[in-house]
Structure 1
Amino acid sequence: MPLSSSAAPLAAPLPFADLRVLELASVLAGPQVGQFFAELGATVLKVEAPAGDVTRTWKTRAEAAATDVSAYFSCANWGKQSVVLDLTTEAGKAQVQRLAARADVVIASYKPGDAEKLGVDYNTLQLQNPQLIYAHLTGYGPTVARAGYDAVLQAEAGFMYLNAQPGQEPQKMPVALIDLLAAHQLKEGLLTALYHRCRSGQGSLVQVFLLDSALASLANQAATWLVTGHDPQPLGSGHPSIVPYGTVYRAGNGRSLVLAVGADRQFRHLCQALSRPEWAQDARFQTNEARVAHRAALESLLQARMAEVNGDELLAALEQLGVPAGAVRTVGEALARESGQEMLLPAGEAGFAGLRTVAFQSSSWPRAASLAPPPHLGEHSAAAIADQE
C-alpha cells in the first residue's frame, strides 16, 4: 500500500554516515579535513598524544586559561572524538593499529620517517587493512625531513612577496592560507581515492605537500612569470591585470570599500554612479588595457571622488547598476550578517558557535543541522579502547 500524502518523508542520510576516519594529524590542514568528513556524517576519531594537539594551547589574550579547547583548536575539530594514545609505547602503538584496522581513512601529518618509527605508516597499516585509504600530509614531500610551517611556506612560495604595498615589507596572510589550500588538496585526493576504491576495491596512499599546494595556487601570478618571464610585483590589494579591482577606497562617510570592475561596461556604470561619465570617454580609461596602463592616474581620480561621496549610498547604487563592489567588514561584521549566520554551527553544549568547513549543499542529502562540540583532551579514550575489546 502506498504511503499516504501526510506521511513525513524519510530523512536522507549524510553521505559519509558509514565512514570511519582515524585522524593522526594535528594543527590545521589535517584536522580541517577531519572536520569536513565529520560534517558529512563520518565517525572521526582524533588520536592525540598525552600532551594533546598543540593548538589546544594557542590562545589569544581574551581566552580563558582553564579550558583545553582554544579558539584555534575549535576551528577544525567539531564533531570528533578525542582519544589519547602514547604511540612511543608498545601498548599505544598496538591500540592505534587496532583502530586503523577498522578504519576507512587515516589522516596523518608526520614528518617523513616519523610515521614509520611510530608504526603508523601506510605500509604497516595496510597489511591488516588492504582497503585502507591513507592520506599523508608533509611540508616538502616524502624525502625532505623538514617540518612544514604555514608562515615559512607563504614566504617561500611567493605569497608574502606579493602581499605588500609597493616598496613596503612583505606581509603574511592573516590566516594559515597554505594549510587551508593543502587541506583542499587533501580532500580532493581522499575523495578521488574513495571513488577509486568503489571501482577497484583497493586502498591507496595519498600524499599531499604544503609546498606543492601553495605553488599550485599561484594561478595567474605564476602564469605571468611563465608566459612573460617577468616576476609579478607587489600591488597591495590591487590586481595586476584589472583596474579598478581590489584597491581600498575611503568614502566621505568613513566607509571603506572595494571595487571589482572586470568589464568596460561595468566601468561605464561606475562612472555614471560617481557622476563622472566623462571618465568613461577618456582614451586613457576606455578599455581595461588602457586602465591598466594608466593605473596611477585613474586611482588618483577615484580616491579623490570617493572621499566626496557617501559610501553606503554608492554601494547601493552600484548594486542596482550591476557593478561588483563591497564594503570592507570586520570578521565579526561578516559573521553577524544573514549569510554569515548560515555558515555557523549552533553553539549547543559548547557555549559558542562553530564555523562550518563544508560550504556546499546538495539536493541528495541534508546539511548537518548541528555537530558535537570540539572534544576535550581524551574525552572518548575509554569508550574507544573498550570498543576494541
Structure 2
Amino acid sequence: MQPIFKDLLVLELASVLAGPSVGQFFAELGARVLKVENAATHGDVTRSWKLKSEPAQTDTPAYFCAANWGKTSLALNLTEPEQLQRLYTLVRQADVVIASYKPGDAEKLQVDYRTLQSINPRLVYGHITGYGPKDARAGYDAVVQAESGFMHLNGEPDGQPVKMPVALMDILTAHQLKEGLLVALLQRERTGLGQLVEVSLLQAAVSALANQATNYLVAGQEPQRMGSEHPNIVPYGSVYTCKCGKQLVLAIGDDRQFRRLCAILGAESMADDPKYKTNYARVQHRQEVNGRLRQLIAQQERESLLRQLHTRHVPAGAVHTLPEVFGLPQAQQLLLQQPHGKPGLRQVAFRLQGQQELELSPPPTYNSGGAEGDSGPSC
C-alpha cells in the first residue's frame, strides 16, 4: 500500500512544538515536509533549547528532535523580496501550509492565507495563534495552562498551582489542527478548493477541560485541586504505596470492580458497607475509602498485587519512570530508529490495516545556505 500522503507537499512556517508536531505527523504518513526556517533568527528557536548535558554546538537538541523528524530544512528571510518569491514558487506546488504567527504578522510578511490562496486556490492553510485572530498576544504554553484553568486544577489541595511537565496545550492544539486540516483536505477532494483552518491554544485548551468543565457548567460545582484524585469517581487516579515502597494507581470505574478489589485485598466486608458500596457513597466518604485502602495496599508487594488485579480485570497500573516506560513493548513500537543515532518518538500512534510505517530521516540540521537542507546527522 502506498503511503497515505505520497506526493503531498507540506510547507511548515511554524516553530516550537504545536505546528512542527503537525508537520511531523504528515511526514510520518508519507508527505514531503519542508521546514521553512527564519534565516533572520537562525531557525526554529528550539534549536537553542538545550539541556545542560547537551553540547553547545548542536543545532538538533533533544527538544527540537521532539517534532522535526522526516523534514528538510529551508532557511529563508521572508522580508527579502527575492526569498519571498522563492517561497511563492513552492506555494504554487504545495498542498498544505502550517503557520504559527501572531495576528497581523503573516499579513506583514505577505504569507497570510488570502495572499497564498491567490497564488494557489487549492491550498489548505492551517494557522495557529495563541488567542484567536483578533488578539495580538503571542501564545506560550505555560501561560495558556494558567489562563485556561489547567494550572488551577493541577497540584495538591494545599499546594500551589502546578504546570504540567509537558507542553500539553501545544499538543492539544496540534491535534485540533491535524483534525481541521484532514477535514479541509477531504473537502478539497469534493470541491477542488482549499480552505483556511484556524485554531488557538486557548480554545484548544478550554475544549479539553471535558468533565471538569461540565462539573462547573452542568452541576454548578467549581472544580478545585485534588492532587491525582478524581472529583466524580473513587478510587480513581489515587496513588498508593506498597510494602516494597513502589507505587501503583487504581482506576475503579464501577461498583463491580470495587467489589473485586476488596476481595483481592481480603476486605470483602468493605464492599458491603453502605458507606462504600456505591460510587456515589464512596465520593461522599473519599477520605475514609482512601485511608482504608492505603492500609490494605501497604501490606502488599506491588508486582504480586498487580498480577492479581489484572487477572480479575481491576484497572490498576504501576507508577513508572520514563526508563520503565520505554521498556514497555507498546512504547518500543513508537520509537523512530536510525542506524547511527539516538531514537525519536512518533507523532502517529494509530495503525491502519495494511499500512507499513515509514522510515523517517532524522531532524534536519539548520540550513543557512538558502537551498533545501539535508537531514541532520542524528539527534
The TM-score with structure 1 as length reference comes to 0.94
Number of the residue aligned with 2:227: 236
TM alignment of 1:1-389, pairs within 5 A: 12-50=1-39, 51-349=42-340, 351-368=341-358, 370-378=359-367, 381-383=370-372
- Unpaired runs of 5+ residues, structure 2, are 374-379
Farther off after superposition, 372-381 or 211-220: 372-381
SS in 2 for 1:228: coil
Amino acid at match of 1:355: L
How many residues end up aligned between the 2 structures?
Answer: 371
Runs of 4+, deviation exceeding 2 Å = 379-384
Tell me if the contact between 2:235 and 2:250 (Cα under 8 Å) persists in the aligned partners: yes
Q: Deviations over 1:8-37 (max 9, x none)?
A: xxxx11100110000000000000000000
Q: How far is the alpha carbon of 1:276 from its aligned partner? A: 1.0
Q: How far is the alpha carbon of 1:262 from its aligned partner? A: 0.5
Number of the residue aligned with 2:377: none
How far apart, in 1, do the equivalents of 2:318 and 2:368 lie? 42
Farther off after superposition, 295-304 or 89-98: 89-98
SS in 1 for 2:35: strand
Number of the residue aligned with 1:8: none
* Percent identity for Structure 1 against Structure 2: 55
Q: Deviations over 1:122-161 (max 9, x none)?
A: 1111111010000000000111110000000000001001
Tell me if the contact between 2:75 and 2:371 (Cα under 8 Å) persists in the aligned partners: no
Farther off after superposition, 270-279 or 75-84: 270-279
Tell me if the contact between 2:247 and 2:318 (Cα under 8 Å) persists in the aligned partners: yes
Q: How far is the alpha carbon of 1:96 from its aligned partner? A: 1.2
Q: How far is the alpha carbon of 1:39 from its aligned partner? A: 0.1
Tell me if the contact between 1:268 and 1:280 (Cα under 8 Å) persists in the aligned partners: yes
Tell me if the contact between 1:81 and 1:380 (Cα under 8 Å) persists in the aligned partners: no
Q: How far is the alpha carbon of 1:379 from its aligned partner? A: 7.5
Q: Deviations over 1:43-72 (max 9, x none)?
A: 000000121100011111122222100100
Q: How far is the alpha carbon of 1:101 from its aligned partner? A: 1.5
How far apart, in 2, do the equivalents of 1:44 and 1:258 lie? 40
Alignment RMSD, CA only? 1.1
SS in 2 for 1:315: helix
How far apart, in 1, do the equivalents of 2:97 and 2:86 lie? 14
Farther off after superposition, 151-160 or 83-92: 83-92
The TM-score with structure 2 as length reference comes to 0.96
How far apart, in 2, do the equivalents of 1:147 and 1:275 lie? 56
Q: How far is the alpha carbon of 1:97 from its aligned partner? A: 1.5
SS in 1 for 2:275: coil
SS in 2 for 1:126: helix
How far apart, in 2, do the equivalents of 1:116 and 1:348 lie? 43
SS in 2 for 1:145: coil
How far apart, in 2, do the equivalents of 1:235 and 1:185 lie? 28
SS in 2 for 1:136: strand
Number of the residue aligned with 1:5: none
SS in 2 for 1:382: coil
Amino acid at match of 1:314: L
Q: How far is the alpha carbon of 1:230 from its aligned partner? A: 2.1
Amino acid at match of 2:105: D
